Amino acid sequence: MQILTTAAGLQAYTEQARQAGHRVGLVPTMGALHAGHLQLVQAARADCNEVIASIFVNPTQFNNAEDFRLYPRVPEADAALLAPAGCTALFAPSVAEMYPQPTVLHFDFGALERVMEGAHRPGHFNGVATVVSKLFHMARPHRAYFGQKDWQQVAVVKQLVADLSFDLEIVACPTIREADGLAMSSRNRRLDAPARAAAPLLYQVLQAAAAQVRQGVPPAQVQATAEATLTREPLFTSEYMAVADAQTLQPLTNYAPGRAVVLCLAAHLGGVRLIDNMVVAG
């Protein structure tokens, strides 16, 4: 596995791969890798001869300086996991390499980002769109792989690709969970033992909410029940619970036949912010 740290190095690498007729897959990450990330690398490897994983804790997508500072960084352990999963090149740039000058461009994804993560983390999707655009230009992949764990991010990135005519395909892969249902996340490393023990409640709340959606319980009631359940666990502070159209991400007041529903929640647990979601077919 090649290790690349400069934009020029990545561009040269991918140019050579394209000229050799190889298909290039890109897996953007912020590191502290787990099976959710490795699944993306494996999916890329199944479709592409070149798989580039990027590890970059992107400062512009953090709206909370403390969250950025405490974000887990384990570069040696990450590198050791990538090659066996099928990664052919690791791109691990510095902040100065990615941002040689402050960016001024602003993205506005309209209604897509006025809800959930966009509403609760101002500037977050601007930072995501900036870094993802840069990575797409540097790596010029045929396909880029993202996790459905970040459902809204997938929607935003698909909009970015469509609006800016990036010549690539976005592949969305399912959420990988621990045995007890907790969605894998780099931030899980920051949970202490009591918080980790309480954490599967997020998944249980989503499962119960999904069952209610299938029974036709009105969205407002599903939302209220989920928030009440989380509030009963003292370690949790609920930030939002959304019952939304899975495509438009807009909150629902009732269900439309044939339209999938996405249940998204964000909560704080022992100082760590966690998100999760579940899709209910229409």
Residues flagged as binding site for ATP? 30-37, 147-150, 176, 184-187
Number of residues lying near ligand AMP (CB under 6 A): 17
From residue 6 to residue 45, the character string flagging contacts with ligand AMP as x (rule: CB under 6 A) and all else as - is -----------------------xx-----xx-xx-----
Task: Tell me: does residue 160 bind ligand AMP (CB under 6 A).
Answer: no
Q: Which residue is nearest to ligand AMP (CB)?
A: 147
Handedness of CA 237, 243, 246, 247 (dihedral sign): negative
Look up 142 and say whether it is catalytic: no
Phi, psi of 216 (to 5 degrees): 85, 15
Helix axes 124-139, 7-19, angle to 10 degrees: 50
Nearest alpha carbon to residue 140 among 26, 51, 48: 26
Among 81, 176, 210, 217, interactor with ligand AMP by CB under 6 A: 176
CB of 164 to ligand AMP, least distance (A): 19
**How many angstroms separate the CA atoms of 263 and 245, rounded?**
9
**How many angstroms separate the CA atoms of 216 and 203, rounded?**
20
Task: Choose between 24 and 222: whose C-beta lies nearer to ligand AMP.
Answer: 24
202 close to 182: Cβ distance less than 8 angstroms? yes
Give the amino acid at 58.
Answer: N
| Feature table: binding site for beta-alanine | 61
124 close to 117: Cβ distance less than 8 angstroms? yes
Residues 137 to 156: which contact ligand AMP by CB under 6 A? 146-147, 149-150
* Residues of the shown chain interacting with ligand AMP in the complex, contacts defined by CB under 6 A: 29-30, 36-37, 39-40, 146-147, 149-150, 173, 175-176, 183-186
Active site residues: 37
